[in-house]
Structure 1
Amino acid sequence: MKVSLKWLKRYVDLDESPKELAASLTLLGFEVDDMETTGVPPLENVVVGEVLQRDQHPDADKLGVCRVDCGSEIGEKSIVCGASNYKVGDRVPVALPGAELPGGFKIKESKLRGVPSAGMMCGASEIGASGDNSGLLILDGRPELGTPINQVLTDSDTVFNLEVTPNRPDCLSHIGIARELAAWYRRDVKYPEVNNIPAETERANGEGLFESVTLDASEDCPLYIASVIKGVKIGPSPKWLQEALSSIGLRPINNVVDVTNYVMHECGNPMHAFDARDISGGKIVVRNAGEGEVMTTLDDEERKLSSRMVVIADETKPLAVAGVMGGQNSEVKDDTTDLILEVAYFKPSTIRWVSKKLALSTDSSYRFERGVDPLSLRYATERAISLILETAGGELCTNGMLAGTEPVWQTAIEITPEWIRKKSGFEVTDEQIREALELLDMSISISNEGVWTVTVPSYRGDLERPVDLLEEVLRIYGTDKIPGGQVRATATTASDSPITQFNRKSSAFLIGQNFQETVTYTLRSAEEQKRWASQVSAEELALLNPISEDQTQLRHSLLPGMLEVLHLNQSRKTGANRFFETGRVFRELNGKIVEMVAVAFLECNSGPERTWKERSFDDFYSAKQRLKTIASYAGIDLGKFKVREVSENEGAWQDGHSAAYEEPKAGFFARVGLMSLPRIKEMDIQGEVFGGIFCYLPERLREPKRIKFKPFSLFPASSRDLALVVDKSEPAEEVVRTMSKIASKATKGFDVESVNVFDIYEGTGVAEDKKSIAVSMTFRALDRTLKDKEVNKAFETIQNQVREKSPYSIRD
Structure 2
Amino acid sequence: MKISLNWLKRYIDINASTEELEHVFPMLGLEVESVECLGLPPLENIVVGEVLKKEKHPEADRLSVCEVAIDKSGATEQIVCGASNFKVGDRVPVALVGARLPGDLKIKKTKLRGVPSSGMMCSATELGLGEDAKGLMILEGNPEIGTPINDIFNDSDYVFDLEVTANRGDCLSYLGVARELAAWYNLPIKQPEVKTNLPIATAPAADSLLKKLSLDTENCPYYTAISIKGVTIAPSPEWLQKAITAIGLRPINNVVDITNWVMMESGQPLHAFDANKINGSEIIIRQAKDKEIITTLDSKKHTLDASMMVIADTEKPLVIAGVMGSLDAEVDETTTDIVLESAYFEPVSVRKTARKLNISTDSSYRFARNIDPQQTLQASLRAVDMILEIAGGKLSSPIVVLGKPTREANVIEVSPDFIRAKCGFDSTDEAISSIFKRLGYTVDQSDKSLWTVTVPSYRPEVYRPIDLVEEFLRIHGTVNIPEGKPQFQALARNDDRIDRFTSEARNYLAAKSFSECYNYIFRDKADLQTWFGEKQAQGLALGNPLTSDHTHLRPSLIPGLCEALKHNQDHNNIADNLFEIGHVFRFIDGKLWELLSIGFVTRVNSEERRWRATEKPDFFLAKRVLMDLISLAAIPEKMIALKPLSRELMWQDNHSATGNDILQDGFRMTLGHVNLKLIKDLKLDSPVLACELLIKPELFDKSGQPKVFKAFSPYPSSNKDISVIVDATTLADDVQSTIEKIAKQAVSGAFTVEEVSLFDHYQGKGIPEGKKSLAFNLRYRAFDRTLGEQEVAQAFDRLQDKLKAESEYIIRTQ
TM-score by length of 1: 0.83
Partner of 1:661: 659
1:26 match: secondary structure: helix
Q: CA deviation at 1:808?
A: 2.5
Instruction: After superposing the two structures, state which structure 1 stretch, 652-661 or 587-596, moved more.
Output: 587-596
AA partner of residue 118 (structure 1): S
Conserved 8 A contact 1:4-1:160: yes
Conserved 8 A contact 2:455-2:462: yes
2:229 match: secondary structure: strand
Partner of 1:810: 811
How do residues 534-545 of structure 1 correspond to structure 2 at under 5 angstroms?
534-545=533-544
Q: CA deviation at 1:498?
A: 3.2
Q: Call closer, same or farther: CA 1:565–1:114 in 2, change over 3 Å.
A: same
Q: CA deviation at 1:304?
A: 4.3
1:252 match: secondary structure: coil
Partner of 1:203: none
Q: CA deviation at 1:675?
A: 1.7
Partner of 2:760: 757
- CA deviations on 1:779-800 (whole Å, 9 max, x unpaired) are 8999xx9999999777656534
Q: Which consecutive unaligned segments of at least 5 residues does structure 1 have?
A: 201-205
- CA deviations on 1:235-275 (whole Å, 9 max, x unpaired) are x4344333222221222233332232222212333222222
1:630 match: secondary structure: helix
Partner of 2:94: 94
Q: CA deviation at 1:668?
A: 1.7
Q: CA deviation at 1:599?
A: 1.8
Q: Call closer, same or farther: CA 1:579–1:541 in 2, change over 3 Å.
A: same
Partner of 2:650: 652
AA partner of residue 32 (structure 2): V
Partner of 1:724: 724
Pairing 1:123–2:128 present = no
Q: CA deviation at 1:3?
A: 0.9
How do residues 397-796 of structure 1 correspond to structure 2 at under 5 angstroms?
397-399=395-397, 401-404=399-402, 426-428=426-428, 430=430, 478=477, 480-495=479-494, 497-587=496-586, 592-607=591-606, 617-636=616-635, 641-647=640-646, 649-664=647-662, 665-701=664-700, 702=703, 722-736=722-736, 738-739=738-739, 755-760=758-763, 771-775=771-775, 777=777, 796=797
AA partner of residue 654 (structure 1): Q
Counterparts of 2:404 and 2:562, CA distance in 1: 58
Q: Call closer, same or farther: CA 1:119–1:734 in 2, change over 3 Å.
A: farther
AA partner of residue 510 (structure 2): I
Q: Call closer, same or farther: CA 1:82–1:585 in 2, change over 3 Å.
A: same
Conserved 8 A contact 1:410-1:455: no
1:125 match: secondary structure: coil
1:551 match: secondary structure: coil
Q: CA deviation at 1:331?
A: 0.8
Counterparts of 1:602 and 1:131, CA distance in 2: 64
Q: Call closer, same or farther: CA 1:551–1:608 in 2, change over 3 Å.
A: farther
Pairing 1:140–2:140 present = yes
Conserved 8 A contact 2:166-2:369: yes
Instruction: After superposing the two structures, state which structure 1 stretch, 296-305 or 474-483, moved more.
Output: 474-483
AA partner of residue 123 (structure 1): S
Q: CA deviation at 1:291?
A: 5.3
Counterparts of 1:685 and 1:118, CA distance in 2: 76
Q: Call closer, same or farther: CA 1:654–1:762 in 2, change over 3 Å.
A: farther
- CA deviations on 1:585-622 (whole Å, 9 max, x unpaired) are 223668854332222222223459799xx997422222
- CA deviations on 1:556-578 (whole Å, 9 max, x unpaired) are 21111111112222233334432
Q: Call closer, same or farther: CA 1:680–1:447 in 2, change over 3 Å.
A: closer
1:655 match: secondary structure: strand
Counterparts of 1:362 and 1:343, CA distance in 2: 16
Counterparts of 1:415 and 1:722, CA distance in 2: 71
Q: Call closer, same or farther: CA 1:223–1:671 in 2, change over 3 Å.
A: closer
Instruction: After superposing the two structures, state which structure 1 stretch, 799-808 or 87-96, moved more.
Output: 799-808
Conserved 8 A contact 1:412-1:453: no
Counterparts of 1:227 and 1:589, CA distance in 2: 54
Conserved 8 A contact 2:57-2:65: yes
Conserved 8 A contact 1:444-1:452: yes
- CA deviations on 1:334-374 (whole Å, 9 max, x unpaired) are 43343333334445565455545655442223333445555
AA partner of residue 14 (structure 1): I
Q: CA deviation at 1:112?
A: 3.1
Conserved 8 A contact 1:732-1:757: no
Q: CA deviation at 1:19?
A: 1.5
Q: CA deviation at 1:89?
A: 3.1
Q: Call closer, same or farther: CA 1:762–1:299 in 2, change over 3 Å.
A: farther
Conserved 8 A contact 1:723-1:772: no
Q: Equivalent of 1:396, from 381, 394, 397?
A: 394
2:62 match: secondary structure: coil
Q: Call closer, same or farther: CA 1:118–1:604 in 2, change over 3 Å.
A: same
Conserved 8 A contact 1:445-1:453: yes
Counterparts of 1:468 and 1:689, CA distance in 2: 48
Q: Call closer, same or farther: CA 1:124–1:570 in 2, change over 3 Å.
A: same
Q: CA deviation at 1:307?
A: 5.2
- CA deviations on 1:712-750 (whole Å, 9 max, x unpaired) are x9x9x9997644233453213433455467678879899
Partner of 2:202: none
Give the root-mean-square deviation of aligned CA atoms: 4.7
Pairing 1:107–2:107 present = yes
Partner of 2:313: 314
1:698 match: secondary structure: coil
Give the total of aligned pairs. 793
Instruction: After superposing the two structures, state which structure 1 stretch, 600-609 or 668-677, moved more.
Output: 600-609
Q: CA deviation at 1:169?
A: 3.7
Conserved 8 A contact 2:78-2:117: yes
Q: Call closer, same or farther: CA 1:169–1:754 in 2, change over 3 Å.
A: closer
AA partner of residue 760 (structure 2): V
Q: CA deviation at 1:673?
A: 1.8
Conserved 8 A contact 1:567-1:683: yes
Partner of 1:163: 163
Conserved 8 A contact 1:558-1:585: yes
Q: CA deviation at 1:503?
A: 2.9
Counterparts of 2:108 and 2:759, CA distance in 1: 93
Partner of 1:23: 23
2:268 match: secondary structure: coil
Counterparts of 2:397 and 2:269, CA distance in 1: 22
1:499 match: secondary structure: helix
Counterparts of 2:536 and 2:757, CA distance in 1: 42
Counterparts of 1:508 and 1:469, CA distance in 2: 38
- CA deviations on 1:66-111 (whole Å, 9 max, x unpaired) are 3433336995444332222223333322333444333333333333
Counterparts of 1:143 and 1:654, CA distance in 2: 89
Q: Call closer, same or farther: CA 1:475–1:227 in 2, change over 3 Å.
A: farther
AA partner of residue 149 (structure 1): I
2:239 match: secondary structure: helix
Counterparts of 1:5 and 1:673, CA distance in 2: 65
1:531 match: secondary structure: helix
Q: Which consecutive unaligned segments of at least 5 residues does structure 2 have?
A: 200-204
Conserved 8 A contact 2:217-2:287: no
1:504 match: secondary structure: helix
How do residues 173-192 of structure 1 correspond to structure 2 at under 5 angstroms?
173-191=173-191
Conserved 8 A contact 2:230-2:392: yes
1:490 match: secondary structure: coil
Q: Call closer, same or farther: CA 1:58–1:301 in 2, change over 3 Å.
A: closer
TM-score by length of 2: 0.83
Q: Call closer, same or farther: CA 1:703–1:366 in 2, change over 3 Å.
A: same
1:127 match: secondary structure: coil
Q: CA deviation at 1:643?
A: 2.3
- CA deviations on 1:667-694 (whole Å, 9 max, x unpaired) are 2211222221122112222222222222
Counterparts of 2:288 and 2:384, CA distance in 1: 29
Q: CA deviation at 1:536?
A: 2.2
Instruction: After superposing the two structures, state which structure 1 stretch, 158-167 or 215-224, moved more.
Output: 215-224
